[in-house]
């Protein structure tokens, strides 16, 4: 049966929450620059909106990490496919992620970035599926906690499709 996207979080709900997150981050970091590191590709839209909701000066950086291949669940194997172009030593760093699921990706990445001696290191994730956690991850900024459903849109994909939907949708076969 064909999979169809059903709206789960509307664009308006997402925008409202991202503005709140940006306000909170701006209050927590009165001085910049904050190095925002978005994880490609899924976080690209969240990064775009969140960075514009932050009033403290930011630097925009990207990293590529793959742990999934073409499937709906983690392979458990993490690989850096694009590293940072800059040093983050002595810098305030916020990792910007689309969704925290098993925690395999972020626990690997946090460990890697910690070795580069940032002044501070926190995580901002738009979505969190706490039911699926295999590795503990401490998150400073969470947009929405969601149940264990596969979601797409607002940057999130299923086999590279649906990233450009403005809403976040559950993919199901009815």
Show which residues are catalytic: 101
Q: Tell me which residues in 40-59 interact with ligand IMP (CB under 6 A).
A: 42
Rounded CA separation 118/99 (Å): 23
Which residue lies nearer to Mg ion by CB, 22 or 42?
Answer: 42
Of 3-11, 12-20, 30-38, 93-101, the segment contacting ligand IMP by CB under 6 A is 93-101
Handedness of CA 67, 102, 94, 17 (dihedral sign): positive
- Of residues 30-59, those binding Mg ion (CB under 5 A): 42
Q: Site for ligand IMP (CB under 6 A): which residue of 74, 120, 142, 166?
A: 74
Structure-derived torsion over alpha carbons of residues 160, 161, 165, 171, reported in degrees to the nearest 10: -110
Partner in contact with 166, chosen from ligand IMP, Mg ion, none, beta carbon below 5 to 8 Å by kind: none
Residue closer to ligand IMP, measured from CB, 29 or 167:
167
Contact map string, positions 114 to 153, toward ligand IMP, x by CB under 6 A: ------------------------------------xxx-
Q: Site for Mg ion (CB under 5 A): how many residues?
A: 1
Closest CA to 139 of 84, 100, 168, 81: 100
Single out the residue of 140, 95, 146 nearest to residue 118, CA to CA.
Answer: 95
- For 91, other C-beta atoms within 10 Å of its C-beta total 19
For the chain, percent helix, then strand, then coil, each to nearest 5? 25, 35, 40
Contact (CB, 8 A) for 53 and 23: yes
Whichever of 58 and 105 has its CB closer to Mg ion, that residue is 105
Binding site for Mg ion (CB under 5 A): 42
């Amino acid at each position: 049966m064909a999979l169809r996207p059903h709206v789960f979080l509307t664009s308006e709900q997402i925008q409202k929450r991202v503005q709140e997150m940006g306000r909170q981050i701006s209050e927590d970091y009165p001085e910049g620059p904050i190095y925002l590191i978005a994880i490609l590709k899924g976080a690209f839209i969240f990064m775009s909106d969140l960075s514009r909701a932050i009033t403290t000066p930011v630097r925009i950086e990207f990293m590529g990490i793959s742990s999934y291949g073409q499937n709906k669940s983690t392979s458990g194997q993490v690989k850096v496919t694009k590293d940072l172009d800059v040093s983050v030593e002595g810098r305030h760093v916020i990792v910007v992620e689309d969704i925290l699921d098993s925690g395999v990706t972020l626990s690997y990445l946090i460990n890697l970035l910690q070795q580069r001696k940032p002044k501070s290191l926190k995580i901002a994730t738009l979505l969190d599926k706490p039911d699926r956690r295999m590795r503990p991850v401490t998150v400073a900024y969470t947009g929405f906690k969601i149940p264990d459903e596969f979601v797409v849109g607002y940057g999130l994909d299923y086999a590279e499709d649906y990233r450009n939907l403005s809403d976040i949708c559950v993919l199901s076969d009815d």
